[in-house]
Structure 1
Amino acid sequence: MPARSVTRLAVVLALLAVPWSVQTFVGARPPGFVFAWGLLNFDPLSVTFLWDFLFRYTMGLPDYILAWPLSVACYCVALASAAVGYLFDREDPRVTAGLLAAAGVAQLTLAQEFSFQPGRAGWPLGTAACWLVAWWVYRGRDAPAD
């Protein structure tokens, strides 16, 4: 197996550690951090996993919140593509990069819509991270030869 496929998988997997969106509020309230796996708040300290958020706490929330699970779905398929590349050397880098780009667009939508609310701002770190990985790791890579 090529050593680069291990690096690509590790870099895509590392996106789980990046806050995809940092949500700030006017006043002394600490920011909230949206990750691919959940929401981390510090006032009070709490973690809400994406699964709980989707199936327990979504009643009455605005539609733009659905950009979060959409971005996670794109990311999960990109991660699966990178894993297939590592395990079987059959990754199509255009697919992985495209899915990371789509995940970034969805996160940008989430941060933008959050920012339209008075006294709030959303900072799309996940957009930048996904786009950077898609560009830096997968630029110039063609489809696998058959």
Structure 2
Amino acid sequence: MPRTPDWTIPALLALLLVPWSVQVFSGRDATFVFAWGLLNTNPLQVTNLYDFLFVYTMGLPEYIYSWPLSVVLYVFAVGFAVIAPTVGYEDRRVVAGLLATAGVAQLSFAQGFSFQPGRTAWPVGTVLMLGIAAYIYGIGRNTERDRSSEN
């Protein structure tokens, strides 16, 4: 069975520290979108994901829902990477697939935001998630080949 690389969990947890999307409003201020919430620069303010979705906003545009969807997929990827080895079912393809799908959802989020006049979104999370997913998938394939050639 394809094993997940040992550094997968630290790499996945590191995604909590970097913005998944950087949204710039006409070049004057920015909002950093993380898995856990938003960091606004003007005024300096933090809003967690729950408050953004259920307290402060009503009638959200459809593209916004790509953000919590990507967070759910990310949580599943982390959960699978943590729990699967303990129950004897470890498969790098599941983690890589969930993470890649979360990255595509983040791209949809950034694209929806960028269609609005005077706004640009940089999908940093998409690049990182797809890169980590490709590495998880690729390194596992190389490890399997190395093991099979030894036998």
Amino-acid identity (%)? 55
Q: Deviations over 1:38-68 (max 9, x none)?
A: 0000111111100111111230221110000
Query: Which residue type is aligned with residue 76 of structure 2?
Result: V
- In structure 2, the partner of 1:45 is 44
The offset of 1:17, in angstroms, is 0.8
Which has the larger Rg?
A: 2
The offset of 1:104, in angstroms, is 0.4
Q: Deviations over 1:62-112 (max 9, x none)?
A: 111000000000000000011124545532111100000010010000000
- In structure 1, the partner of 2:107 is 108
Which 4+ runs in 1 deviate beyond 6 A? none
The offset of 1:136, in angstroms, is 1.3
**Structure 1 regions of 5+ residues with no counterpart?**
none
Please give the secondary structure, in 2, of the residue aligned with 1:59: coil
- In structure 2, the partner of 1:24 is 24
Say whether the 8 Å CA contact 2:92–2:136 is kept in structure 1. Answer: no
Distance, in Å, in 1 between the alignment partners of 2:49 and 2:26 is 25
Say whether the 8 Å CA contact 2:99–2:133 is kept in structure 1. Answer: yes
Matched, 1:76 2:81: no
Distance, in Å, in 1 between the alignment partners of 2:32 and 2:27 is 17
Please give the secondary structure, in 1, of the residue aligned with 2:58: coil
Distance, in Å, in 2 between the alignment partners of 1:47 and 1:91 is 36
Please give the secondary structure, in 2, of the residue aligned with 1:12: helix
Pairs within 5 Å for 1:1-146: 4-5=5-6, 7-28=7-28, 30-85=29-84, 87-88=86-87, 90-141=89-140
Say how many residue pairs are matched. 140
Q: Deviations over 1:107-138 (max 9, x none)?
A: 00000010000000011000001001001133
Q: For the aligned residues, what is the CA RMSD?
A: 2.1
Query: Which residue type is aligned with residue 80 of structure 1?
Result: G
Instruction: Provide the TM-score with structure 1 as the length reference.
Output: 0.87
**Structure 2 regions of 5+ residues with no counterpart?**
145-151
Instruction: Provide the TM-score with structure 2 as the length reference.
Output: 0.85
